[in-house]
Amino acid sequence: MSSGSLLRVAVGPRFAAPLLDYLAPAEGPVPPVGGRVSAPLGKGKRTGFVIKHLDASDVPAERLRPVLEVLDAEPLWDPVTLEVLRWAANYYCHPLGQVLAYALPQHLRRGGQLPAPPSFWRACGKALGVAPELPARAPRQRELLEQLLAAGRGGLAERALASRARDWRRIVRILEEKGLAESFEREIPEPAVMLREEPLALSREQSAAVNAMPMDRGYACHLLDGVTASGKTEVYLHLVEQVLASGRQCLLLAPEIGLTPQLAERLKARFRVPAAVLHSGLGDGERLNAWVDARAGRARLVVGTRSAVFVPCRELGLIVVDEEHDPSYKQQDGFRYQARDLAVMRASRAGIPVVLGSATPALESLLNVQRGRYTHPRLTKKVTGSRPPLARLVDLNRHPPEHGLSAPLLQAMSEQLESGSQVLLYLNRRGFAPVLMCPDCRRSEECSHCDARLVFYRRRDLLLCHHCGARRRPPPVCENCGSPLQTIGRGTERLEEELQARFEDFPVARMDRDNVRGRRRLENILGGIRERHYRILLGTQMLTKGHDFPSLGLVGVIDADQGMFSQEFRGPERLAQTLVQVAGRAGRRERPGLLVLQTRFPEHPLLRQLLKEGYGGFAATALDLRRRSGWPPYAHLALLRANAPEAASVREFLEQAIGVVPQDGSGSAVEVLGPAPALMERRRDRSHAHLLARSSSRARLQEYLGRWIPAVRKLPCRRRVSWSLDVDPAEIG
């Protein structure tokens, strides 16, 4: 059997293993790898991806069936993106068919046709002067021809024609038959950059950064390390301009574009070129158009969240990953990939530069700088020249807080508010109180589905589980002993009430996921903040994400200890990043801002160092700790997670998984720890546990997983649990 006529296909709807072998159709070209086919399955048919061309199959020839239809004459992805997808499937041990399906817009995933490029119509040369001669009984032909003539050689898009005449297609066909009009596919636009606005003149630091990142010398990874408002985005825009001018596309990734659309807006304000913006708020049709435009090279700018790293581009010249440290670049379910890491991989395969930007780079990225893999251009000053905020630790042991606010913080707030500034308070805890407890028997209200306390919401008179969403009415008194219940601690809902009572003249804007649902509401609140209707801003993590608050004079961190004693190995890094990002909101104009951190551990070395030396100093120590304790980025991890209603099934599965760990050869380079229960063992009525594989060598771990995971897939008790592998996990719990 000749090579190429045998196909290995991942068949939908789940596209998971096992892959099936088929014959290529007897007639016509062999379907390409990375293209779709319609394949018979049992009595029905399914869409599948061609994963491989085979020389031989283990299936006896008489049982091989031919695919029914070839859906794509060419691969859906450009060769580099397809290679990245393959690499990712292999690296993250995820079935390639599922990876390919994940990377497609829904319409294509379901077997729909790749839309043809938009067509245009224009008048032919011989139509000049003809319009008046068209028969008087054909006024609509005349009208349409006149419109085409007016549009010139560029013609009109079919979409535009459809909006002008109901019956346009029939009419334009008549004109075509008469040789008066023709359809054509618009060429890719000229590479000339069309600037909508003048670029800003760069500061000396910005120019140095731009010069340190050549756009015409192939692959290089640059970690653009710049404090908040140092003009990183402006640097991206200058690089993008160079790349567009050389006739190439730019791909820019941002975390959670639904909440932070600034990047896309600034690009559109600067460049008059077609852009495709991909984010979760798009409808299926819009997403498909954006994807198709990027693939065809019609969109010169492609902006999106993490999954945009898989969008095919015809002639990519640059990838930018903004806020590269942001945890949302890691997909946390299904196909668990790290989009920043894949962006670097994609750039290296494509031979193009990649820029990772952040005010608080991930420790991984900083280590890559140390090892000489990334360059490290830095922006140390705010563009406005304002100095970094003056920071102060407030020891809560010495200044016991009243309603969560210590006397020094209260005083700083009053001063700022009286002088007309805005004040931001950061508290990463939603609800009224995290605990509702009986003071006599110490019983607290817990979720019956999770190992978690229920959060009390007073306004809604509700107990809510933040892990599974379970809700119930709080009991009037302790169900155990009848004593009245007490709230312990405070969340944003409570602090909001307390602030409003204390600062009556200064309206409070609360930004958290309970209060701000959806884009509209967010825009409203942000508008109220810009117009300075709100004077006190109170919020969770949501506040730290890129929003600009120009008249902010003070940032108060209500509880700096939250997270410092986290059991997660990335806990301190995340805390430091959050504190620095929150602090960056203060003093964006002339005056330096003020940062007040409330803590019960003012001697904590992490906090001290962060305050004294900034994020860079903190990162150096944190890296040293990771090195000495053997955690990433000095070690490489893979977490095999499992859950089931019964703890026993989980245990049995993980024990069996240990039983099949590869023993020979490189086995000793990888250690497997566990089974260990998850930090929250019981969640959503299921018991969670894991095994942790760790190695100092990424290659060894990969090789190990390549032998281990296929064996795990065959374990007899795998069907009784839900399990997944997480390579380079963001967290262990």
Instruction: Judge contact between 218 and 158, C-beta under 8 A.
Output: no
Residue with tokens 């969670």: 688
- Ranges within 365-384 binding ligand ADP (CB under 6 A): 383
Measured from the CB atom, is 233 or 643 closer to ligand ADP? 233
Strand residue runs (E) in 57-193: 69-70, 119-123, 156-157, 181-185
Q: Which residues pair with 379 in a beta bridge?
A: 226
- Asked if residue 264 lies in contact with residue 257, where contact means CB atoms within 8 angstroms, the answer is yes
Task: Closer to Zn ion by CB, 447 or 511: give it.
Answer: 447
Determine the interface stretch with ligand ADP among 140-148, 230-238, 304-312, 493-501 (rule: CB under 6 A): 230-238
Q: For the CB of residue 240, give the shortest distance to ligand ADP in the complex, in Å.
A: 12
Q: Cβ atoms within 10 A of the Cβ of 430, count?
A: 21
Residue 50 CA to residue 58 CA, distance in Å, equals 17
Per-residue binding string, ligand ADP, 516-555, x by CB under 6 A, is ----------------------------------------
If we measure between CA atoms, which residue out of 165, 200, 180, 74 comes closest to residue 134? 180
Total residues contacting ligand ADP by CB under 6 A comes to 14
Binding mask 144-183 for ligand ADP (x = CB under 6 A): ----------------------------------------
Residues within the interface to Zn ion (CB under 5 A) = 438, 440-441, 443, 447, 449-450, 465, 467-468, 470, 478, 480-481, 483
Q: Any idea which residue has 């709230």 for tokens?
A: 487
In sequence order, which residues have a C-beta less than 8 Å from that of residue 350 and are 6 or more positions away?
A: 80, 219, 316
Of 632, 425, 412, 380, residue with least CA distance to 537: 425
Q: Pick the closer one to ligand ADP by CB: 233 or 598.
A: 233
- Site for ligand ADP contains 233 (CB under 6 A): yes
User: At its nearest, how many Å lie between Zn ion and the CB of residue 568?
Assistant: 20
From the list 228-236, 360-368, 466-474, 660-668, the region that binds ligand ADP by CB under 6 A is 228-236
- Beta-bridge partners for 273: none
Which residue, 582 or 642, is less far from ligand ADP as judged by CB?
Answer: 582
Residue 62 burial (CB count, 10 A): 5
Q: Is 171 helix (H, G, I), strand (E, B) or coil?
A: helix
DSSP 8-state class, residue 591? S
Q: At a CB cut-off of 8 Å and minimum separation 6, what does 653 contact? A: 642, 644, 715, 717, 718, 720, 721, 723
> Which does residue 206 bind out of Zn ion, ligand ADP, none, counting CB within 5 to 8 angstroms by kind?
ligand ADP
Q: What, of Zn ion, ligand ADP, none, does residue 226 touch, CB below 5 to 8 Å by kind?
A: ligand ADP
303 binds ligand ADP (CB under 6 A): no
* Closest separation in Å from C-beta 345 to ligand ADP: 25
Residue 661 interacts with which of Zn ion, ligand ADP, none, CB < 5 to 8 Å by class: none
CB of 433 to Zn ion, least distance (A): 17
Q: Is 231 in the site for ligand ADP (CB under 6 A)?
A: yes
The one among 81, 98, 230, 416 contacting ligand ADP by CB under 6 A: 230
Instruction: Supply the minimum distance, in Å, between the C-beta of residue 644 and Zn ion.
Output: 17
Chain CA centroid to CA 52, Å: 30
- Mask for 195-224, x = binds ligand ADP (CB under 6 A): -----xxxx--x------------------
Question: Which positions from 455 through 494 interact with ligand ADP, judged by CB under 6 A?
Answer: none
3-state SS assignment for residue 710: helix
Residues 6 or more apart in contact with residue 557 via CB below 8 angstroms: 425, 426, 579, 582, 595, 596, 597, 598
Q: Which is nearer to ligand ADP, 375 or 384 (CB)?
A: 384
Lookup: tokens for 546: 């890129």
The smaller minimum CB distance to Zn ion, of residues 266 and 443, is found at: 443
Cα separation, 277 vs 267, whole angstroms: 11
* Residue among 404 and 546 whose Cβ is closer to ligand ADP: 546
Calpha distance 586→133 (Å, rounded): 71
Residue 670 token pair = 């990888």
| Closer of 438 and 639 to Zn ion (Cβ) | 438
Which residues of this chain interact with ligand ADP, rule CB under 6 A? 200-203, 206, 226, 228-234, 383
